[in-house]
Amino acid sequence: MVTKHEATQLERLLRARECMLRDEIRAQLLESDEQHYIDLAGKVGDVADVSVADMLTDVDIAEMDRDVVELREVEAALARIAQGKYGVCADCGTEIDYERLAAQPAATRCVQCQGQREKVYVHTEIPRL
C-alpha cells in the first residue's frame, strides 16, 4: 500500500508535471498563432514549401494532442488522490505498487492488468500525426 508520505511525494510529482504540461501547451499555442501569422504574411513560397509547412503543422498538432491527453491523465490522478482512490487498479481493484506509481504517477492499472490491456488492445487506435 502507498504510504501517506509516498502519496505526498507522488502528488508533488503530478503537480509539477501538470504545471510543465500547461506551460508546454500554452507555448505551443502561442507559437502556433505566430506561425499562422507568418504563413498568412506570405512566407510560404511554392508547393513544396506548403507541403513542408503542412507537415510541420500536423506534427505540432500531434505533439499538443499528446500533451493534452497526458494533462488529462495527470488531472485524473490528482482527482483520485483527492477522493482517496489513488493507487487502486481500475481493472482488478488491487493496489498498484509504489514502484509503478513512482515511474508512472498517473497509472490507473497494476503492472499485470496494464500488460494484459496492451496485449489485447495493441492495435485499436488509429495512428495519426
pLDDT of residue 89: 96
Look at residue 74 in the predicted model and tell me its pLDDT.
97
Task: Answer whether 21's CB lies under 8 Å from 70's CB.
Answer: yes
Domain count of the chain?
A: 1
Q: Give yes or no for residue 50 having a pLDDT over 80.
A: no
Please give the pLDDT value at position 78: 97
Question: Which residue would you say has higher pLDDT here, 34 or 76?
Answer: 76
Rounded CA separation 21/70 (Å): 8
Q: Which residues pair with 95 in a beta bridge?
A: 88
Has residue 60 been placed in a domain? yes
The H or E element containing residue 42 is none
Query: 83 lies in a domain?
Result: yes
Q: Is residue 105 part of a domain?
A: no
128 located within any domain: no
Q: Supply the pLDDT for residue 18.
A: 97
Q: Among 34, 88, 90, 24, which Cα is nearest to 57's?
A: 34
**Domain containing 53: what range?**
4-87
**Has residue 116 been placed in a domain?**
no
Q: Is residue 25 assigned to a domain? A: yes
Q: What is the pLDDT of residues 82-122, one digit of tens each?
A: 999 999 999 999 999 999 999 999 999 999 999 999 988 87
14 domain residue, yes or no: yes
Q: What is the CATH number of the domain that holds 9?
A: 1.20.120.910
Q: Is residue 48 part of a domain?
A: yes
The more confidently predicted of residues 73 and 36 is 73
Q: Which residues contact 94 (CB under 8 A, 6 or more apart)?
A: 88, 110
C-alpha cell at 28: 505551443
